[in-house]
Structure 1
């Protein structure tokens, strides 16, 4: 009898009234605005301080936010998405096939490869759009694919073969220094960085909605609410640092739009959760399917972004990092470990 009472209610509305859980309705409504304010402040802080001269902070602070955020993103993928997704998709409420196969890891793998494929297509198909956004400080404006090529043609128009070869060599040197285009590189490093952060933003927003819905429907509200505040602040700090460092025009609104979008999605998810709180059963089969699949898919996106875009590009393929003093490299790695460690610790409560 006790086992029957402890068994999860796999169908229908929640088994007990919503009000019996921790956290009053007033507190949950207030949480919408608390999450909005805390997420917006931490995400906008790196952007505003980098763009407003009076608020300028040392570059080391941006480095800390950037590498700390990288660790946060990777720990979020493993500890806050993949592990819960595996638990959800192993629920006894689900089809017996889910008990026999690790679907959470399969969904994560599929989303990882889909993210790779989307980025591959974006580099080829979306290069013109990304290039229009990419800002070249050496040129004082947007960097265009054929900018140097046209200059070379003008030089070559009335020159000897030797002069043409010299002009071609000079063109390649300029491209090398300014990270511009060559025939074999249709997308500049600047545009590549824009696409990478766009994918990161998508993955973070995707799972933040689920976090909000979970918070709005859970019966164990107070502890989860505190943990999610820190979760969103840490993640927002890392995302804001990436947005602030994008090679965009100084007056571009894209970083602000990205920060505000991130700050809004969890409160929106929380509002949705409050709206369906009396009919949504967090232990039902439907909830397990939806949450488990979304968590697993988000984990794959963030794993790809964290390991490829953030770690590989920042530490291994970054020329500045390869030539930087060993002490600085070690410090940046430690900052990343701190972010991952703190986010992994939060997984003890949520």
Structure 2
């Protein structure tokens, strides 16, 4: 019986992996169910993304309790954070470390480097945008504190939680040039509005960055599902995966919608619809090229790994800075909330994060 040293075993495993790196097609089993998965995942994705948006817009008619909407919001925030680390960064490390790639790819942690690049690109872009916005306000005689420490300033940029009334609506945004901060009392809390924070462009850009990262991931997920040999398990997991992720993006879209003038609010609907169709489009594309597309090939691994790493950076920045820091640490609403409500919000976020992280065991 031949004896294999660890190095020989590693060489054999690597050789076997390279043998599976060809350009041949993916799995062709369960074709009917793969086609049906387009519509099943479409329904789950659409429900997850549209529910928070429609619940906020038509709360007078749908009579959705505020607690349900709040649960979806914090649950979705946890999902976004878990998606970044478990469903994007981890696969990126695996894909860019594939033995199918040239040796140079294994000489540097490219997945982490691309994730880091993405984080700082988003940070610099927002830094420039808000310095420019603040300069414009100063030029027209409006004082603004970007960190929310001054009187009349709201806590920093990003999708912060303003106290909302029972209809989940807020006052329309003041026009730039009028008084930058206006106070109004809602359920005993005083809320300040900032022209920079509440401008339609700021709200739209913030959510667009988040959706860009999620959409890239969703397309790749759909493409993989269409050709993966272990279809049944992946399919079941992705139904929950896309529904939960839809809640995450939908809750952010609903928040943006509540802080936009009525002329801009349809953007939230379009954003939810865009998320809903991305994974089904990816599945359809994968089925169309299933005879030639191999998800284990070098080209597929590079493209998927690079996109996953960049998307991970976007979601990490959004999750940690926009969601955790600004909605908990710097939020005037949370600072005024009871300990019980704060614990409930944190617990809901941890639940969403935990369930999404658990799904990473199978997909």
Match of 1:274 in 2: 287
TM norm structure 1: 0.81
- Residue from 244, 247, 253 that aligns with 1:243: 253
Corresponding residue for residue 243 of structure 2: 233
Range 260-269 or range 250-259, more displaced: 250-259
The Cα of 1:71 is off from its aligned counterpart by 0.9
CA deviations 1:226-284 (Å, max 9, x no partner) are 11110110011122122112212346211111100000111111111111111111111
Partner of 2:116: 109
Separation in 1, partners of 2:104, 2:279:
32
1:302 to 315, 318, 321: 315
Once the two structures are superposed, residues 276-298 of structure 1 have per-residue CA deviations (whole angstroms, 9 ceiling, x without a partner) of: 11111111111111111111111
Q: Using the TM superposition, give the Cα deviation of residue 304 of structure 1 relative to its aligned residue in structure 2, in angstroms.
A: 0.5
Paired position in structure 2 for 1:89? 96
* Match among 24, 40, 50 for residue 44 of structure 1: 50
- Cα RMSD after superposing both structures: 2.7
Q: Which residue of 1 aligns with 2:194?
A: 180
Q: Structure 1 residues 209 and 125 mapped into 2: Cα distance closer, same or farther (>3 Å)?
A: farther
What's the CA shift for 1:173? 7.0
Q: Is residue 218–residue 282 contact of structure 2 (8 Å, CA) maintained in 1?
A: yes
**Residue equivalent to 1:162:** none
TM-score where L is the length of structure 2 = 0.78
How many Å apart are 1:123 and its aligned residue?
Answer: 3.4
Aligned-partner SS, 2:295: coil
Q: Distance in 2 between matches of 1:305 and 1:212?
A: 23
Matches within 5 A, 1:91-240: 91-123=98-130, 141-148=172-179, 178-181=192-195, 187-189=196-198, 191=200, 192-240=202-250
Report the counterpart of residue 18 of structure 1 in structure 2: 27
Unaligned runs of 5+ in 1: 129-135, 150-170, 182-186
Count of residue correspondences: 311
Paired residues of 1:122 and 1:195 also in contact (CA < 8 A): no
Matched, 1:312 2:343: no
How far did residue 5 of structure 1 move? 5.4
For structure 2, the residue ranges without an aligned partner over 5 or more in a row are 1-11, 137-163, 185-189
Q: Aligned-pair distance for 1:10?
A: 2.3
Cα offset, 1:323, TM superposition? 1.3
For the pair shown, which has the larger CA radius of gyration, 1 or 2? 1
